[in-house]
Copies of this chain bind each other. A is one copy, B any other.
Amino acid sequence: MAGGQEKKPIANAKPKAKAGGGGKKKEVKKETGLGLSYKKDDNFGEWYSEVVVNGEMIEYYDISGCYIMRPWAISIWETMQKFFDAEIKKMKIQNCYFPLFVSPTVLQKEKDHIEGFAPEVAWVTKSGESDLEVPIAIRPTSETVMYPYFSKWIRGHRDLPLKLNQWCNVVRWEFSNPTPFIRSREFLWQEGHTAFATKSEADDEVLQILELYRRIYEEFLAVPVIKGKKSELEKFAGGLYTTTVEAFIPNTGRGIQGATSHCLGQNFSKMFEIIFENEKGEKAMAWQNSWAYTTRTIGVMVMVHGDDKGLMLPPKVASVQVIVIPVPYKDADTQGIFDACTATVEKLCEAGIRANSDFRDNYSPGWKYSHWEMKGVPLRIEIGPKDLANDQVRTAFVVLYVYLHFLRCSLFPDIAAHIAFSITGMIDELEIYAYRFNPQVRAVRRDNGAKIDLPRGSLVERVKELLEEVQESLFVAAKQRRDACIQIVKTWDEFVEALGQRKMILAPWCDEEEVEKDVKARTKGEMGAAKTLCSPLEQPEVPEGTLCFASGKPAKKWTYWGRSY
């Protein structure tokens, strides 16, 4: 996992500092071309596009809506995957792999479902030079791919629960505003598909999975989310109800669906005849769930934490948590500094910290600082001559050296020369020694720029603590910014005002589909209409007599409203 993706790969082997002076002069690049052209607060869209590219997460591809996910992004995906995969295996969910392709008859079996996806389905109609007999769809999701086989495999109550998951790519050929990670024509996800004998088992699992999604966002990506239920209008096409973890992007004032866990009820099992004989010998229909999270998670994290210097990665998902940068001076002991960097990286890696060094000789330390800030590495350690020498010891030896030199030149030339030579060597040795046991090393936090002198004796412990602090700080700061955007409203006028201020609006609602459609229609505009984001699972009290902000009818629940991605 250590060793982030590098445009210019960093040799991990012990580097040899070239002897100073003589030879071809090194071309040391300055800070050219490193900064971002756009500021997050001024032009969020351009800032985002630039930061995912300059941070080396994404490369734009020659097919619109498709993106290359570079190692710096994929390593984050793998970290989350490792966590989630282990958790679902504990729940006895098994991985499988169903085909990419769906035949049209099967795809169209569940009407509501296909209505939701039909306009985005990509169709294969040719292979080589020949036309296919029947066009074949590329999965936009796998309900219709899998459930004919659920029907085959499930016969009796002993065949339940059936709990499957797959890690794969899906394709939704959307035309609206493609955005890396957030809205792309192909993306990676996991999709879980489970079937139970009873509704209560299905209900339980929906929430268990939702909690895992919350943990991915809050514990790994340091992004606060709200657990909630989608409205009838916004729920998964063909399902019974949809739960969601909902994030919010303060800069655009838009909610974003983080991941969804659906209870499909018995709708699909009716269409696909997923019928089992229960313990009483009666025929019954299975209760089903499906749930997914996608590479969108990475985009949300970038949007929430990034700043005008670039990406800001939470330590838990950063493939490089600590970057160690040598800061050689003209006359300093460069090799000693490089050795010290290597020793530091080794020490950190041994302790399970993902550390790396940057020994490239064609970039200045300043350029490297900016580069690793752009890539969002949580902690930087700088090692230079100041950090290297223990000054008092050095001074004592220099005095001794001068004294011996004086002796050599005047009194006992031969013997003294020999001693002076030894002493010179000892000074060199001491420099490295002094480094290794030097009490301080300089660390810089990516999140707040704080410079911290770490005691070398407890370097590993302090770095671990600092990484935890950064992880925690990122979450707290993001939560504060998010919470500052939440506005409670009770009337239509307050609602319109809050929407104008790009808020995430919590309002009492009558829970009627027509009213949601009406709100959408009345708020239509350049920025996009407002809609429900979710009704939080943790519902504030709805006092007797509370009215819906939009319809004036009695309110049934509190619901988050806003514009969304």
Binary contact track A1-27/B, C-beta < 8 Å → 1, others 0: 101010111001000000000000000
- Would you call A97 and B74 a contact (CB within 8 A)? yes
In the assembled complex, how far is the CB of residue A240 from the closest CB belonging to chain B, in whole angstroms?
A: 23
Name the one of B89, B127, B152 contacting A59, with C-beta atoms under 8 angstroms. Answer: B152
- Would you call A103 and B63 a contact (CB within 8 A)? yes
Per assembly, the copies of the chain total 2
Q: Considering the chains assembled together, what is the distance between the CA atoms of A135 and B68 in angstroms?
A: 20
Binary contact track A59-75/B, C-beta < 8 Å → 1, others 0: 10111001111110011
Q: Considering the chains assembled together, what is the distance between the CA atoms of A74 and B121 in angstroms?
A: 27
In the assembled complex, how far is the CB of residue A90 from the closest CB belonging to chain B, in whole angstroms?
A: 10
In the assembled complex, how far is the CB of residue A162 from the closest CB belonging to chain B, in whole angstroms?
A: 7
The segment out of A153-161, A224-232, A263-271 that lies at the interface is: A153-161
Q: Which residues on B sit within 8 Å (CB–CB) of A161?
A: 9
Residue A78 lies at the interface, judged by CB distance under 8 Å to chain B = yes
- Would you call B95 and A74 a contact (CB within 8 A)? yes
Binary contact track A271-297/B, C-beta < 8 Å → 1, others 0: 000000000000000000000000000
Residue A101 lies at the interface, judged by CB distance under 8 Å to chain B = yes
Q: Considering the chains assembled together, what is the distance between the CA atoms of A92 and B6 in angstroms?
A: 11
- Would you call A158 and B66 a contact (CB within 8 A)? no
In the assembled complex, how far is the CB of residue A6 from the closest CB belonging to chain B, in whole angstroms?
A: 9
Interface residues of A in 103-159 (CB under 8 A from B): 103, 106, 118-129, 135-136, 138, 148-149, 152-153, 156, 158-159
- Would you call B92 and A12 a contact (CB within 8 A)? yes
Interface residues of A in 151-193 (CB under 8 A from B): 152-153, 156, 158-164, 168-169, 171, 173, 185-186, 188
Q: Considering the chains assembled together, what is the distance between the CA atoms of A66 and B171 in angstroms?
A: 18
Q: Which residues on B sit within 8 Å (CB–CB) of A489?
A: none
Residue A99 lies at the interface, judged by CB distance under 8 Å to chain B = yes
Residue A39 lies at the interface, judged by CB distance under 8 Å to chain B = no
- Would you call B101 and A149 a contact (CB within 8 A)? no
Q: Which residues on B sit within 8 Å (CB–CB) of A148?
A: 62
In the assembled complex, how far is the CB of residue A111 from the closest CB belonging to chain B, in whole angstroms?
A: 16
Q: Which residues on B sit within 8 Å (CB–CB) of A75?
A: 94-95
- Would you call A97 and B126 a contact (CB within 8 A)? no
- Would you call B128 and A68 a contact (CB within 8 A)? no
Q: A121-B128, A124-B122 are in contact. Are A99 and B63 (CB under 8 A)?
A: yes
Residue A362 lies at the interface, judged by CB distance under 8 Å to chain B = yes
In the assembled complex, how far is the CB of residue A125 from the closest CB belonging to chain B, in whole angstroms?
A: 5
Q: Which residues on B sit within 8 Å (CB–CB) of A156?
A: 8
Q: Which residues on B sit within 8 Å (CB–CB) of A129?
A: 119
Residue A98 lies at the interface, judged by CB distance under 8 Å to chain B = yes
In the assembled complex, how far is the CB of residue A167 from the closest CB belonging to chain B, in whole angstroms?
A: 9
Residue A100 lies at the interface, judged by CB distance under 8 Å to chain B = yes
In the assembled complex, how far is the CB of residue A531 from the closest CB belonging to chain B, in whole angstroms?
A: 23
Q: Which residues on B sit within 8 Å (CB–CB) of A127?
A: 119-123, 173
Q: Considering the chains assembled together, what is the distance between the CA atoms of A99 and B152 in angstroms?
A: 33
Name the one of B89, B124, B168 contacting A138, with C-beta atoms under 8 angstroms. Answer: B124
Residue A96 lies at the interface, judged by CB distance under 8 Å to chain B = yes
Residue A481 lies at the interface, judged by CB distance under 8 Å to chain B = no
Q: Which residues on B sit within 8 Å (CB–CB) of A168?
A: 169
Residue A360 lies at the interface, judged by CB distance under 8 Å to chain B = yes
Q: A68-B97, A95-B78, A100-B186 are in contact. Are A128 and B124 (CB under 8 A)?
A: no
- Would you call A69 and B96 a contact (CB within 8 A)? yes
- Would you call B92 and A69 a contact (CB within 8 A)? no
Q: Which residues on B sit within 8 Å (CB–CB) of A135?
A: 126
Q: Considering the chains assembled together, what is the distance between the CA atoms of A101 and B170 in angstroms?
A: 12
Q: Considering the chains assembled together, what is the distance between the CA atoms of A62 and B163 in angstroms?
A: 22
Q: Considering the chains assembled together, what is the distance between the CA atoms of A162 and B7 in angstroms?
A: 8
Name the one of B122, B128, B160, B169 contacting A173, with C-beta atoms under 8 angstroms. Answer: B128
- Would you call A158 and B118 a contact (CB within 8 A)? no
- Would you call A98 and B63 a contact (CB within 8 A)? no
- Select from chain B the residue with minimum beta-carbon distance to A98: B68
Q: Considering the chains assembled together, what is the distance between the CA atoms of A7 and B3 in angstroms?
A: 42
In the assembled complex, how far is the CB of residue A392 from the closest CB belonging to chain B, in whole angstroms?
A: 39
- Would you call B186 and A92 a contact (CB within 8 A)? no
Name the one of B63, B71, B153 contacting A95, with C-beta atoms under 8 angstroms. Answer: B71
- Select from chain B the residue with minimum beta-carbon distance to A24: B281
20 CB contacts below 8 A, A to B, read: A3-B94, A9-B159, A9-B163, A59-B149, A66-B101, A68-B149, A69-B96, A74-B95, A77-B97, A99-B186, A100-B186, A119-B127, A119-B128, A120-B128, A121-B128, A123-B124, A124-B125, A124-B138, A128-B173, A158-B360
Apart from the given pairs A3-B92, A118-B128, 13 other A-B contacts in the complex at a CB distance below 8 Å:
A3-B94, A61-B98, A63-B103, A63-B136, A66-B101, A68-B97, A68-B98, A70-B96, A74-B95, A74-B96, A75-B95, A121-B128, A124-B125
